[in-house]
A and B are shown apart, each in its own frame.
Chain A
């Protein structure tokens, strides 16, 4: 009886090992693929990005549940500020978004906070608040329909859109 139990356990462990190794290799491939496009869990790729002008990306990305601007985001926003200073007749709407892994109402507030974090930065680079309005979509308008970390990272964003 006991012996058979031990056998059973070894078999189980063996089976588990096999599953684990299989997973490990699979995971590595997936992570490699994602790593080119994410830093931490902030999207760094260019998949969904559009340009307001040459060298002026229209959006910045955020970590899960975060509203802090990354170094790359600040660089993008400085480029936007320079472009807005040159084109003083253009007003913009900052559209804040969240990923699908949160309750709807909280995400609406989070999107608003993200857009404001971008707005504050533009203002410190000399853009008047009169020229910037803020609109949150929460999780209502994902750019990527996927249910995976990469898709979610593209969806956590603030997009600067020409208002006129």
Chain B
């Protein structure tokens, strides 16, 4: 079905493509990232001085272009060329690039732009140029408060990514995670949030109690997580903007493994009681609680399909941890993982076609994906310990955490965030101020 659609798409649009335009194929591992030039956004002297005063940045134009450059590079699909080779000045390039010059340094695309200070606002315009076709591909302008300058860089990156790959970007997003410190036996854990590129890191809890598994609401800036406040492990709800927290529901035991429904109106989670764990939902508006599974086994790690009609979850009803799917009312339970080893943490892709998981086989941990019928299993990365994949909002990248093996004395423990493309390429350490685990990727903040 998908394939047919793709072919149809290619046929209909092929003639157009020949005329213009460069295209980046993100469905394959991209071993030849597209060479492109990110010219610093040009800025007039007066604007430069104004922003220097407000933002304490010497040249906000080049700061923004650096953000764009880093984003595109991190995606693994683009290869931003060294600015030292650029022959044209930023302001002139933005008016009309001399395509031969950019061709000479092997750039296939060029990003130019201009920053101005207008009515105490930051106004940014940018253009994307196809060098080979000698054409403008896109031109956009927006105005915002100066303090939003980093987001401007991310939005430009998203627009460029979308124009060149045909899919939405994931740069104007945030990651919520658990910041870790201290010895392995007495880990101090705090909720923390940062921009997708690691900037604007902020701790959201003090570390007085253990916190785990924060997850974003896909439709708002709400987060659900597990807190051991007063030694009662319960699922909580946190509004990131206001900082208000509340416990979710009134359950007679530990609630854990929370996630939002795709419309953001329900929380799905596990309740552990008397040695068994079942899956429940709670409607956040009318507070109605519904029991979804009822089995003596451990049923946990539930994750909705993007249309809300199905739930993937983890159960050991077969004797070991495996992945199951069911209808959202709990009917039609079906096991889908049948490979060697045990499977956990199923997470439904935002595109709906894949389920990411953690697998343990012969002492190694893998992050992988399978289709929703369990077929087509692909393991993306192997390590001593790693788990808890979370999807980028466009379903192209997974972020997860990895822990190191300690030595004979129990030293050398660390936990870090990593990301990898769905293709299995472009594995990267995601830099954080402290050790980190349990990452969750937000939706796009704009649109």
Contact = CB atoms under 8 A, between A and B. Distances in A.
Contacts of A112: 253-254, 272, 275, 277
B213 A104 contact: yes
Q: Identify the 8 closest CB pairs spanning chains A and B, nearest first.
A: A145-B410, A116-B275, A103-B344, A112-B272, A145-B184, A109-B277, A147-B405, A109-B298
Contacts of A67: 275
Interface residues of B, number: 46
Given A105-B213, A113-B276, A151 B185 contact: no
A146 interface: yes
A131 interface: no
B217 interface: no
Contacts of A134: 253
A65 B319 CA distance: 10
Indicate the size class of the contact surface on chain A: 20 to 34
Given A109-B300, A142-B184, A145-B410, A104 B387 contact: yes
B358 interface: yes
A34 to B, nearest CB: 13
A58 interface: no
Interface string A99-110: 011111110111
A147 B406 contact: yes
B98 interface: no
B319 to A, nearest CB: 9
B254 A136 contact: yes
B275 A113 contact: yes
A143 interface: yes
A63 interface: no
B184 A136 contact: no
B321 interface: yes
A103 B270 contact: no
B301 interface: yes
Interface in B266-310: 270, 272, 274-277, 298, 300-301
B385 A100 contact: yes
Interface string B16-37: 0000000000000000000000
Interface string A41-69: 00000000000000000000000010100
B349 interface: no
A16 B298 CA distance: 44
Most buried by B among A112, A117, A141, A148: A112
Interface in A87-115: 100-106, 108-110, 112-113
Nearest to B344: A103
Contacts of A148: 408
A110 to B, nearest CB: 7
Given A142-B184, A142-B185, A144-B410, A105 B270 contact: yes
A120 B344 CA distance: 28
A135 to B, nearest CB: 6
Given A101-B360, A136-B272, A145-B413, A113 B298 contact: yes
Interface string B382-406: 0011011000000000000001011
Interface in B406-434: 406, 408-411, 413
